[in-house]
Each structure stands twice: as structure tokens, then as C-alpha cells.
Chains A and B, each alone.
Chain A
């Protein structure tokens, strides 16, 4: 734990203080002379703010300064969106090689984070299989801490990737093979299950795991969005939020989609330290398939709330061209990086 500024005020206390101030304000407003605020000064202040906001509109996003160069990280949130790893088919078995490693990544412009990563990226590769496939994942621990790969799905205990069961913790330099069938179809995830659990997940050891139904889904422009966050100062609350790691990545450069084309979003929430995360789309609605395990949508909505480890599939079409915002409707997360744009073109 880093030593912080001693006058550090806890979030909780501040919120309490703010609430108290808010409650007292209407009273104070009546008592305290404040002509200055209503006169020309206020006008000047308003203009001042408006000017700044106008200057701001040119910039890519609402908060923060600068942008993250994908080359520094070695992975690009835009490429992660449409990057599905179907492994290698060998004798009817779908195989992957996954390595856990330590890697410093830039999670917000200029802010570095000592992450743990599967195959050098956060989130790890999106593994994609078809229902009933035999899967074989060779996992090597290339870092200096024990790790595992724990898959959501239906499988035998020994393949569950938790400490003390089956191969258990995979020690640094060692490897193992997880061997199971792809079932049930839907959208799942995998993550490290070594303890301390929250830390092993929060540091970046997770990824999306897609099992397509036997007959597949209708053709669509498919996007993977792993909602995550980073506790850069180790106070067990996140300083940076985003989709596919980099704060404001899709504000700086919108996700380009075609008008009227079916867009399918594989949405996974792996956020640690916050109980819920959410997804909200502007000027549109989507069909929602929780966990993707049924082919009929449960909802037609514009906002979904997901708990830790929860995921779902969204299907929508954009009827009009233009730029449409999407973000967590937990406004705090939005303003701390979880905010982006779709750019719809003909």
C-alpha cells in the first residue's frame, strides 16, 4: 500500500459532508448576501464556462487529458472489439495456448498500471467455440505468482481451475491443460481463481468465453465489450473504468458500424470492487439475451444492469446515421472513463 497524502479524506465522509452541505444550502441561500452571484459577475462566469465548454467540444471526450497510444500497450481496444480467437482444431479438439504474464499497461492517458495479463492483453483473448466442441486449453504461468484459469460453463471438478482441486494453483513456470466440452451455449467468461481472488481478477486475468449455439446466430457485426476497471492506488476502489481496458478509448475514436446492419454485442462485466455495472445506449433500444443461453430475448430496452461476473448478449440496429453515445448509467463510472460513441454511417 502506497503512503498517501495524510489529509486524505475518505469517500464516504465526503459524500456525507456534501449531502449535509446540500441540505443546508437552501437555508444559507436565503440568509447570506450573494448579490455578486446574480449580477454581472454571474453572467461573466457563465460566459467563461460556456467558452471553455465550447473549446472542449473539439476535444474527444468530456474529462481527462490526452489519449492512450495502442502501440505502448501492444493491444488496441478497437481490435479487441472484433477479435475472436477460435483456437486451432486438431483432431476434432479445439486447442488454445494461454500464458499468464506480468505486464505494465496504460489504462488511462499517462497512467500506467502493473497488470497481470493472459497472452499479453487485458482483457485476455476472446475464446470462441461451438456448443459440444471438445476444448483443450494449455495454460502456462509465465508470471511470478501462482495463477489458474477458471472457466464458467458445465464441466468436471478437476477442470474447474480453482486452488487445491485437480491441478489447483499453477505455480510460476509450470503449466497444465484444461480439458472439457463447450456447454452450455451462451456468453461466459474465464478468469484466474487464485487467492486473493479480487486482486487476481482486478489485475487483469479475465476474458470473454463465447459458445455459439449448434446452429449459430444470425449474421451480424459482432463486438466484444468487457467492462472493467482499475484500482491504480490500491484502495480497493477503481480510479479508472472502461470497456476493454482503456478509459475513453471509444470517445477518442468511435466504434464504426453500418446503418441498419445487425450489431451484436457480447457484454461481460468483470468489474471488481463495485457491485454493479451497467450499459446504456443513446437514441436506440436493443434485444437483450441474459447470459446468451436462450435464443429469445428477455427484454427490449436501452439499459441493462449487470452484477460482478454477469454477462449478456445485445442485438440492435441503428436506423439513423450519426454519433451515438453509450456508457455505464452508473454516472460515476461513465465520468471515470466508461463512455464511448458509435458512429453510424450508410
Chain B
């Protein structure tokens, strides 16, 4: 035993392991950075005034108080020294006297604000710079109590779960359509998903713009998209591998009587991915609704709910289209798919209304977009006709129809 260890040690001593040589640049970099920092950046003198940047990530309004959550978005520390509300100094307390790079702080400003009025808040820093934040219409931020979560859940149900479930009732009908029109329906689904994907990218980019640039800005959206695409591809690979194994086992047991033929259609695997992609998108939609509600800029009403219902009902169709050729239709399974696609709207509304953060929301929209892109890649082959053409007239028509329907119903909902 001891002899073996000794032998290994001498071997390592003689011949460095390959991974160790890979660490050399890392070690040199660490030493260089250490020296550079210790010597206070020799040869590089800072010119100009400190560049102070703060982003107000979230403003919570309580009676007689503005609660601002700020993040330092610049290279230099920021010290807020006075707060000006509508051209007057206001009393305030802050959690951090000096906010470091990427650091956050809460600033509570005492102010007898009046509902519905606009306020301009300027944070005056120690160097005299001002960071402005506008509150377009002051409305008390709802307390995150049980009733509030209940309301958000209700909104999520209205705009997410119920419309998707209704849309899934198209299942018996899609079962009856012939192969050609089935391809049309699948192309329609792809068009619909493409619309949602583009929508998620745009909305994410817009949101990222209102968050701190130093946290990545719009790059967060793309990072989320690529990450989600890769993650879903991996999940998909794992699922198909697992299913093949299961099917082989089932065939061995019952001699091939179960109807789970891999060639019959896209199957539940595709439906699951479609539902997941739509679910991630609805999470983002919930976020937008919840945060709009929290800042009082959401006109909750029948029009909004009806709009979302029409918009999202088509999503139900997208989920059931891939399973049209499946022999068995387990209600439980379908219900779970519906929940997977719709329920994230509830979760999104909760997060959006209680802990909204533009950077996080942008990342989530990116994830939704990436998931949708992956689903499109999954479904697209099924759109091909007998000749193997992808963009045959019916497919192109279906794609266009999907885009147009989503655009038109989207007009009904602008949060």
C-alpha cells in the first residue's frame, strides 16, 4: 500500500499530470491580478470625475412613503446624500451609506404622495449628481398578503390555465383531420410559437433596457435563450433515449400490443416540449402582468382577460396537435400538459407583483424564447410533406396563419 503511494508520488513528481499544466496560465493570471491590484494599477491614472450610475430597479409605494430599491450600475461607488421629490428635499433613510459596484440598497423616502399624481424623484449624490426616477402615477403597491396572492393566482388562471385548457378541447377535432391538414395544423403551431418566441425576445430586450446595464442588459436575454435551447436539447435527448429503452422493455413484455409506436406521430414527447416552451413564455407573460399590476399601470378588466383568453387558447391547440395521432388520450396526462403550459402564468404573476426585477425578468423572457426555438426545431420535421418539402404551400399557409392569429389576438392585450 505504502509502496504503491510512494510509487504514484514519484511518478507524479517525474511527469506532471496533464491537467496541472492547464492551470499554469490561471495561476499566472491570479498572481498578475494580485500584483496589479496591490500596486494600485501602476501607470494607469484615473482621469475625470467619478461616473455615478444608479438604477432604480423597483419602486414600492406605501402611504406617505416611496421605497426605492436601487442598484449601482457604474464603475464607482455612489453615496446618496439627499433626495429631491418634485423639487423639494424630502427626509429619507437608506440601508447603505455607500453603494459599491453592483451593490444594492433600499432608500425609504418620506413623502405624502397623492394617488394618481406624477412624481419625479432625484437622488442627489455626494458629488452633486442626480439620479432621476419618474413615477408616472402614484398608486399604493399592494401588500403581498394572502388576498393579493389569491388575486394574482386568479389572474394567472384567467390568462394562462383556463384558455390553454379550452384550447386543448380541440383534441377530438384534430384527431379527425387528415394527414395534409394535420401538417397545416402543425405548421400553424410553429407559426404561433415563432410569434411567441419573437415576442419574448423583444419584450426581454425592452425589459433589459430598464435594468442595470452592468448586469448584462440585452445579453441576458440571449444568454437565457441559448442556455434554454441547449438545456432543452439535452432533456430531449435524455427523454428519447429513456423512451426507447422503455419501449423496448414494453415490447418484450406484451409483445408490442401497446400503441406507443414511435412513428405514429410526434407524441407526448413533443407535446411536453411544446407545453414547456409555452409555459416558460407564459411565465414571462405573468411577470409582465404582475409587475404592471403592482405599479398600478394595469387596467384589470374584462377586455384584458378576454384578450389573453383568445391569445392563449390557440396555445392549447399547439399542445394537442402533436398528440393527435396518439392512440390513447389519458385525461390526467393532458391535464398535466395543460398545467405545465398555463400554470407558470400564476407563478409569473406572483413573482412579477411581489419581487419584480427587470434583469431577472429579461433572463426569463430569454429562457422562454430559447425553449420555443428548441420546440420549433422539434416539430418542424413533422410539417414535411410526402416529398420531404418543408415549406410546401399548406405549411407556409399554416405558418402565416399562426403568426397572423397571434398578432391579431395580441392586439387585444397590451400590458
Contact = CB atoms under 8 A, between A and B. Distances in A.
A39 interface: no
A5 B55 contact: yes
Interface stretch (B108-116, B337-345, B359-367): B108-116
* Residue from A5, A37, A332 whose CB has the most chain B CB atoms within 10 Å: A5
Interface string A44-68: 1100110010001001001111100
Interface string B41-72: 00000000101111100000001110000000
B136 interface: yes
A337 interface: yes
A297 B316 CA distance: 85
Interface stretch (B117-125, B153-161, B270-278, B320-328): B117-125
A8 B134 CA distance: 8
Interface residues of B, number: 44
* Residue from A63, A110, A332, A335 whose CB has the most chain B CB atoms within 10 Å: A63
B87 A335 contact: yes
Contacts of B53: 3, 5
A49 B112 contact: yes
Contact of B116 (A21, A65, A112): A21
A108 B82 contact: yes
Interface in B54-111: 54-55, 63-65, 79, 81-84, 86-93, 110
B132 interface: yes
A329 B249 CA distance: 89
Given A52-B64, A111-B81, A9 B51 contact: no
B126 A337 contact: no
Contact of A37 (B86, B88, B115, B131): B115
Contacts of B52: 2
A17 interface: yes
Contact of B63 (A2, A49, A59): A49
A22 B117 CA distance: 7
B127 interface: yes
Contacts of B115: 34, 37
Contact of B88 (A7, A8, A230, A335): A335
Interface of A: 2-5, 7-9, 11, 14, 17-18, 21-22, 25, 28, 34, 37, 41, 44-45, 48-49, 52, 56, 59, 62-66, 107-113, 230, 232-233, 235, 239, 247-248, 332, 335-337
Given A335-B88, A337-B89, 9 more contacts: A2-B51, A18-B118, A41-B63, A52-B64, A62-B89, A64-B90, A112-B126, A232-B130, A336-B87
15 contacts: A3-B51, A5-B131, A18-B86, A18-B117, A21-B117, A22-B117, A25-B116, A52-B65, A64-B89, A64-B91, A111-B81, A111-B124, A335-B88, A336-B84, A337-B89
